[in-house]
Amino acid sequence: MILSDRDIVQALESGRIKITPQPDLERSLGSCSIDFRLGNTFMVFEHSRFSYIDPRQPQSIGDAMRTITVPDGEAFIMQAGDFALASTLESLELPDDLLGRLEGRSSIARLGITVHSTAAVFEPGWVGTATMELSNLGRMAVALYPGMRICSFTFEQLTSPAMVPYRKKRGNKYAGQIDPKPSRLAEEIAMALEEEK
C-alpha cells in the first residue's frame, strides 16, 4: 500500500517519517509523494587518472573519485555522458514498517538526467541522506543547482515491521550518511571472503 498525501502528512506530524530540514509541503507534497532537493556535494570519477575500477579494492573506488562542493547559487554542470553521485539536501528517517522509494522527477528526466540507476529502495529503518546516481543521457550539458527539487519519495507500508531494520542490519554500509558515499562493494566482498574462511 502506497501512502497518499494525507498519510504522508500524518506520518510527518506524528514523527513516523522524519525529514530534516522540514519540507515546505505547499511546494513539495504531491498526491502520493514528497519532493527532495539537491544537496551541494557531488562525487565524480577521475577517469583521466584511473583506467579502471576494481570492486575488490576499496582504495580503487575511493581514490578514483573526487568530491566537489558547489556553493548555493552556482551550478554543477553535467556534461553529456557524465556520471556523478550527489546527495539530497534533506535527511530521511524511516520507521521499521515503511519503505521509501526514490523516483526521478519527470521535469528533470526530460532534460536527459536520470536520478538513480538502480538504487531506488530505502529499506525500513533507513536514516540519512539519499545518494543519487546522476547520469546525463542527453547530448547537451545540463546545469543542476543545489536546492532545486531533484527527486521524490513515495512510501509503502509493510505487512509487519521488519525484523532487522536497515540501521540495525549487520554490514549496513550507508546508514547515517550525510554526503554522497562511493560504492562500498569492496567491503561486502571482503566480508563474504572472510566468512568463507
Residue ranges at the known binding site for dCTP: 105-110, 166, 173, 177
Catalytic, 74? Answer no
Take residue 182 and report the three cell numbers written for it.
562511493
31 burial level (CB within 10 Å; 0-12, 13-18, 19+):
exposed
Q: Look at residues 83, 89, 86, 92 and name the one whose alpha carbon lies nearest to residue 12.
A: 92
Q: Spell out the SS3 assignment of 8-35.
A: HHHHHHHCCCEEECCCCHHHHECCCCEE
Annotated binding site: 105-110, 166, 173, 177
Given the residues 93, 103, 133, 156, the one annotated as active site: 133
- Number of H helices and number of E strands within the chain? 5, 11
Backbone angles phi, psi at 114, to 5 degrees: -95, 140
Q: Report the catalytic residues.
A: 133
